[in-house]
Amino acid sequence: MTAEQSQRRSSLLPMIIVAILFFVLGFATWLNGSLMPYLKQMLQLTPLQASLVVFSFYIAVTFTALPSAWLIRKVGYKNGMALGMATMMLAGLLYIPAAQTQTFALFLLAQLVIGAGQTLLQTAVNPYVVKIGPEETAAVRISIMGILNKTAGVVAPIVFTALMAGSFIATADVALTPAQVDEMAARLVLPYLGLAAFLGLLALAVKFSPLPELARESGDENKAGQIKAVLAKPGLVLGVLALFVYVAVEVIAGDTIGLFALSLGVERYTVMTSYTMGCMVLGYVLGILLIPRLLSQQAALAVSAVLGVLLTLAIVLGDSSSYAIANAVLVPFGGTALPDTLLFIAVLGLANAIVWPAVWPLALSGLGALTSVGSALLIMGIAGGAFGPLFWGLASGSSLGQQGAYIVMLPCYLFILFYALKGHKLTSWR
């Protein structure tokens, strides 16, 4: 057996464990797309109040990312993963009293805690993707993990919808009886108890698994100086902003589609996130096949932004009473008849898929020794997921309504287009 074969075999089990963790991360993240409209109907929330469900989850990134990095330096990557899973388990248990008391504030607290646990787990698990195999195949492993993460986004709404089947009342403007509300709340208890038990067992499995420990980074005393240096790099700073608006539109497309479907009277509104995530998986696969063979990263980013602009206009200006696309593409193959505007939102997943992997190399180009600090700032762009649905919720309460509120995505895609064409090339603020 050659040294290369030995390394490949020794990294197989860690790869499987990390793949499971990436699937769990995706499952926890994209479950929000089902939970948000479900709670909106159960607790009779406004679109703005419902958007706080996602806001609470993503805002955790902004204040737990740096503490997570500090904790991992103290306890190590492997223990950091186990602690992240344990935190998510505690969050799963919080959903039970939230459902039993039907208290919105408790649901928001649970979302905040699961977001914090997810941030810790993500901070610990991402380095393994690069380190557990040959460096020259790291990009392939990153793509595989991305596909697993988004595939979990397809599965999570389907599982949630199957577990909640029988408690849906599709019409959004019908007042629920106390008995109907109680039934909807009661159906949340067992699934979240099961989720908490699974996360707890997985935390123990990771803790006692044969995962190799990575070398811990020492704290850099000149971190402030490094941050000042990277802020002088327009390509990096604009890249952080591009990721911020990208995650904003990604979460709008993935998590508000169920709310909009509920407002249109779609019966299984909690499964709609699966459509968006399915399009994202397709986008990932196309990215692997086309970049860089047929498209450069810059060109792929520009194409994605233009597609996002066109789809945003199609959503805002489209006819929600038309089912022409579904009747042509889905219904003949046994699919569900859905309004055109909903399908336009789903196809945003295709437009969004390539943005994250395209922005990173463009933003980090030429940073040299500042690459690790630049990467940390780029991760902070995930906070855009907290604000995208919030702005959509605010706009939904205006004369625009829920359909017109999708116009908030237009400046986001235009900025991504600017970054693709010019922003990433800037080397000075002057």
For the question of whether the overall pTM of this predicted structure is more than 0.75, the answer is yes
Cβ(381)–Cβ(243) below 8 Å: yes
Cβ(42)–Cβ(99) below 8 Å: no
| Confidence at residue 139, expressed as pLDDT on a 0 to 100 scale | 57
| Confidence at residue 171, expressed as pLDDT on a 0 to 100 scale | 59
Task: Examine the pLDDT at 261 and tell me if it is beyond 90.
Answer: yes
| Confidence at residue 161, expressed as pLDDT on a 0 to 100 scale | 86
The larger pLDDT score, comparing residue 285 to residue 222, is at 285
According to CATH, the topology of domain 1-211 is Growth Hormone; Chain: A; (1.20.1250)
| Confidence at residue 112, expressed as pLDDT on a 0 to 100 scale | 95
| Amino acid (one-letter) located at 10 | S
| 401: region left, alpha or beta (phi > 0 left; psi from -120 to 50 alpha) | left
Angle between helices 355-364 and 234-255 (to 10 degrees): 170
> CA 103, CA 107: separation in Å to the nearest integer?
7
| Confidence at residue 297, expressed as pLDDT on a 0 to 100 scale | 82
Q: What is the pLDDT of residues 272-305, one digit of tens each?
A: 999 999 999 998 888 888 877 888 888 989 999 9
Cβ(200)–Cβ(89) below 8 Å: yes
The larger pLDDT score, comparing residue 39 to residue 372, is at 39
| Domain assignments of the chain as residue spans, ordered by start | 1-211, 223-430
Give the number of other CB atoms < 10 A from CB of residue 299.
Answer: 16
> Do 1-211 and 223-430 fold alike per CATH?
yes
Task: Examine the pLDDT at 268 and tell me if it is beyond 60.
Answer: yes
| Confidence at residue 77, expressed as pLDDT on a 0 to 100 scale | 83
Stretch 158-178: mean pLDDT:
74
Cβ(65)–Cβ(119) below 8 Å: yes
Stretch 199-211: mean pLDDT:
87
| Confidence at residue 1, expressed as pLDDT on a 0 to 100 scale | 45
> CA 410, CA 317: separation in Å to the nearest integer?
13
Q: What is the pLDDT of residues 357-385, one digit of tens each?
A: 888 888 888 877 777 677 778 877 888 99
Task: Examine the pLDDT at 5 and tell me if it is beyond 60.
Answer: no
| Confidence at residue 6, expressed as pLDDT on a 0 to 100 scale | 47
C-alpha separations of 162 from 98, 179, 253, 342 in Å: 21, 21, 22, 21
Task: Using the CB atoms, write b or e for 200-210: b if 16+ within 10 Å.
Answer: bebbeebeebe
CATH number belonging to the domain at 223-430, selected among 3.90.550.10, 3.40.50.10800, 2.130.10.10, 1.20.1250.20:
1.20.1250.20
> CA 430, CA 425: separation in Å to the nearest integer?
13
First to last CA, the chain: 57
Confidence tier at 216 by pLDDT (50, 70, 90) = low
Which is nearest to 17 in space by CA: 151, 210, 197?
210
Question: What are 124's two structure tokens?
Answer: 């610990």
Most confident of 176-180, 214-218, 340-344, 379-383: 340-344
Confidence tier at 220 by pLDDT (50, 70, 90) = low
Cβ(184)–Cβ(262) below 8 Å: no
The larger pLDDT score, comparing residue 65 to residue 399, is at 399
Task: Examine the pLDDT at 306 and tell me if it is beyond 90.
Answer: yes
| Confidence at residue 69, expressed as pLDDT on a 0 to 100 scale | 78
**44 backbone dihedrals φ, ψ, rounded to 5°:** 55, 55
Angle between helices 32-43 and 47-75 (to 10 degrees): 140
Task: Examine the pLDDT at 119 and tell me if it is beyond 80.
Answer: yes
Task: Examine the pLDDT at 10 and tell me if it is beyond 60.
Answer: no
Stretch 344-349: mean pLDDT:
96
Q: What is the DSSP string of 298-341?
A: HHHHHHHHHHHHHHHHHHHHS-TT--HHHHHHTGGGT-----HH
For the chain, give the mean pLDDT. Answer: 86
Question: What are 161's two structure tokens?
Answer: 């919808």
Q: What is the pLDDT of residues 67-111, one digit of tens each?
A: 887 888 788 888 989 999 999 999 999 999 999 999 999 999 999
| Percentage with pLDDT > 70 across the chain | 90
> CA 175, CA 290: separation in Å to the nearest integer?
50
Cβ(26)–Cβ(150) below 8 Å: yes
> CA 78, CA 156: separation in Å to the nearest integer?
26
Q: What is the pLDDT of residues 183-195, one digit of tens each?
A: 999 999 998 999 9
Confidence tier at 130 by pLDDT (50, 70, 90) = low
Q: Please report how many Cα atoms fall inside a 13 Å half-sphere around the Cα of residue 415, on the Cβ side.
A: 19
| Amino acid (one-letter) located at 330 | L
Is omega for the bond preceding 292 within 30 degrees of 0, making it cis?
yes
Question: What are 354's two structure tokens?
Answer: 């390539």
| Percentage with pLDDT > 90 across the chain | 44
Cβ(419)–Cβ(242) below 8 Å: yes
Confidence tier at 219 by pLDDT (50, 70, 90) = low
Lookup result for tokens 């988004």: 150
Which is nearest to 417 in space by CA: 242, 297, 290, 292?
242
Indicate the range of 105-114, 283-292, 326-335, 418-427 predicted with least confidence: 283-292
Task: Examine the pLDDT at 309 and tell me if it is beyond 50.
Answer: yes
> CA 90, CA 106: separation in Å to the nearest integer?
13
Q: How far is CA 148 from the centre of its chain?
A: 12
Q: What is the pLDDT of residues 143-155, one digit of tens each?
A: 778 788 889 989 9
Q: Please report how many Cα atoms fall inside a 13 Å half-sphere around the Cα of residue 405, on the Cβ side.
A: 24
Confidence tier at 3 by pLDDT (50, 70, 90) = very low
